[in-house]
Amino acid sequence: MFIEPRVGGAGHTVKRGWIEVICGSMFSGKTEELIRRLNRAKIAKQNVEIFKPALDKRYHDEDVVSHNANAIRSTPIDFAQDMLLLGGSCDVVGIDEAQFFDDGLAEVCVKLANSGVRVIAAGLDMDYLGNPFGPMPALMAVAEYVTKVHAICVQCGDIATYSYRSAASEQQVLLGETDSYEARCRHCFQEGLKNKK
């Protein structure tokens, strides 16, 4: 489990920011882990703001909703840049579905962290073809802490890191269709791709 770093010490007054990334495949518990970290900050009366890309309209508009319906209020925004205005005065900024944001995401997170904000971003590290997803690689590079969470392979029960798409669509972004995906290990993911050809 991720243990928050101890900031400061006696006489420490400067607000220190940093970046945490929670990544993994679908069904790996990324959002649950994000919510766990954010709730603890909220209990400590820290000022928390949560953002998600406006295109993710699978569930209720204003909620970050994990698959276990452990919801937390969030603000849908169109551009990563919007976070600078809306989240600049927060102690903690949470980001869900970070993979769907534009390429400006890493730079925005760096600016927030530099100004003293703790940034926690959750997102898919790979798309359904097993390629790095959107702004995630850049974000992982500039983060202090990267946590890769794993799912369980539906086929063999091994550790799963891939989101295998059983539906036929070629779009990288296929929303609201968790039924069309399954978590798979490296071996079963490769087997699945082979069988599709």
Catalytic site positions? 97
| Per CB under 5 A, 183 contacts Zn ion | no
Choose, by CB under 5 A, the member of 155, 191, 192, 193 that binds Zn ion: 155
| Per CB under 5 A, 139 contacts Zn ion | no
- Is 75 marked as a binding-site residue? no
User: Using CA atoms, how far apart are residues 101 and 108, in angstroms rounded to an integer?
Assistant: 11
CB 157 to Zn ion: min, Å: 7
- Is 25 marked as a binding-site residue? yes
CB 183 to Zn ion: min, Å: 9
Contact 81, 125 (CB under 8 A): no
Backbone angles phi, psi at 136, to 5 degrees: -65, -45
Contact 7, 132 (CB under 8 A): no
Stretch that binds Zn ion, among 68-76, 85-93, 121-129, 187-195 (CB under 5 A): 187-195
| DSSP H helical ranges for the chain | 30-43, 82-87, 105-114, 136-142, 186-196
Contact 96, 122 (CB under 8 A): yes
Choose, by CB under 5 A, the member of 153, 165, 181, 183 that binds Zn ion: 153
**How many helical (H) and strand (E) elements, i.e. helices and strands, does the chain have?**
5, 12
Q: Which residue positions form the known binding site? A: 24-31, 96-99, 153, 156, 185, 188
Binding region for Zn ion (CB under 5 A): 153, 155-156, 158, 185, 188
Q: Which residue positions form the known binding site for ATP? A: 24-31, 96-99
